[in-house]
């Protein structure tokens, strides 16, 4: 009898351990960044976590026929956007919006928030964007000042950054599943510090900011670094961290980048964070 019970306990524990990984799809193929490195970095982080299994959807290159780029978004729980390039076919845009509307998770990674300035819903999903001639018509600047969120309608360009440097990231919402248990701040390795981001900023929670010092070419404001957006039933995690350029080394891909990415990705896909790292 004792043996039977022991065996059953083993069965149960192996069932728990054999929890299905979350299916993720990384969308890439065009970017003003080094997407050939970045999408593999993202895939490795996701797969090695044991929490996700990540497939790739790679678009044709810039200027090529995009009409056959029709990923099956609905087969996934999470879409990771590492894309900044030509417009997708209307059917793909619609399928992406359906995916989010129906509760799909999205990770917006670094320059994915430069993409698709003229796609209204995409801008609602990313919350804030930059570059591509964004300005006051795209929404307010959003940042922290004296511990308060400021929505600033001052006219001006959206999206810039000073010189790359190491900087402190400050957690602003400590009881969110993505940030719970993290220290109040952490030092992130050399990276771009996006500033002057602007957009609709609806249903948005700023989880973390970093001070963009004027001495490094920044704004003198506490700029949003990690945030979430709710759109339809979908959950979006946006990280501006992780610049990957043409250099061999990518210092921005540090443990804090991975840790916050994985937590945000799991929350976007499931609403929970089980990872203790």
Applying CB under 5 A, the residues found at the interface with Zn ion are 192, 243
Q: At what angle do helices 255-270 and 35-48 cross, to 10 degrees?
A: 70
Its sign, for the CA torsion 234, 171, 142, 86, is negative
Least CB distance to Zn ion at residue 141 (A): 19
Q: Which one, 192 or 222, has the nearer CB to Zn ion? A: 192
Least CB distance to Zn ion at residue 13 (A): 44
Least CB distance to Zn ion at residue 218 (A): 15
Alpha-carbon distance of 245 to 241, in angstroms, equals: 13
Least CB distance to Zn ion at residue 32 (A): 8
Q: What are the structure tokens assigned to 8, written together?
A: 């059953």
Pick from 190, 177, 168: nearest CA to 243 = 190
CB atoms within 10 A of CB 127: 27
**Buried-exposed string 77-110: b where 16+ CB fall within 10 A, e elsewhere:** bbbbbbbbbbebeeebeebbbebbeeebbbbbbb
Q: Which one, 188 or 243, has the nearer CB to Zn ion? A: 243
Q: Which one, 192 or 195, has the nearer CB to Zn ion? A: 192
Least CB distance to Zn ion at residue 260 (A): 17
Q: Which one, 39 or 243, has the nearer CB to Zn ion? A: 243
Q: Which one, 51 or 225, has the nearer CB to Zn ion? A: 225
Q: What are the structure tokens assigned to 262, written together?
A: 């994985």
Its sign, for the CA torsion 117, 199, 158, 104, is negative
Report the residue closest to Zn ion, judged by CB.
Answer: 243
- What CA–CA distances, in Å, run from 73 to 55, 113, 249? 11, 19, 32
Q: Which one, 196 or 243, has the nearer CB to Zn ion? A: 243
Least CB distance to Zn ion at residue 81 (A): 14
**Buried-exposed string 267-276: b where 16+ CB fall within 10 A, e elsewhere:** bbbbeebeee
């Amino acid at each position: 009898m004792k043996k039977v019970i022991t065996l059953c306990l083993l069965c149960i524990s192996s069932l728990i351990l054999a929890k299905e990984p979350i299916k993720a799809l990384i969308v890439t193929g065009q970017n003003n960044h080094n997407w050939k490195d970045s999408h593999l970095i993202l895939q490795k982080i996701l797969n090695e976590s044991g929490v996700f299994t990540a497939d790739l959807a790679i678009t044709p290159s810039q200027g090529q026929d995009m009409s056959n780029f029709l990923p099956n978004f609905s087969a996934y729980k999470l879409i990771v956007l590492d894309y900044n390039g030509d417009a997708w076919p209307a059917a793909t845009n619609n399928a992406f919006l359906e995916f989010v509307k129906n509760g799909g998770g999205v990770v917006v990674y670094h320059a994915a928030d430069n993409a698709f300035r003229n796609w209204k819903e995409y801008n609602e999903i990313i919350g804030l964007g930059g570059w591509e001639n964004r300005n006051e018509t795209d929404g307010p600047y959003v940042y922290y000042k004296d511990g308060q969120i400021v929505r600033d309608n001052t006219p001006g360009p959206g999206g810039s950054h000073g010189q790359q440097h190491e900087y402190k990231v400050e957690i602003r919402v400590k009881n969110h599943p993505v940030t719970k248990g993290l220290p109040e701040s952490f030092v992130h390795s050399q990276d771009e510090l996006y500033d002057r981001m602007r957009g609709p900023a609806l249903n948005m929670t700023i989880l973390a900011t970093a001070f963009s010092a004027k001495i490094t070419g920044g704004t003198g404001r506490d700029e949003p670094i990690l945030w979430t957006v709710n759109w339809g039933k979908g959950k979006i995690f946006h990280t501006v961290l992780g610049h990957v350029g043409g250099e061999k080394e990518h210092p921005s891909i540090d443990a804090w980048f991975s840790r916050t990415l994985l937590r945000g990705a799991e929350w976007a896909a499931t609403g929970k964070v089980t990872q203790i790292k």
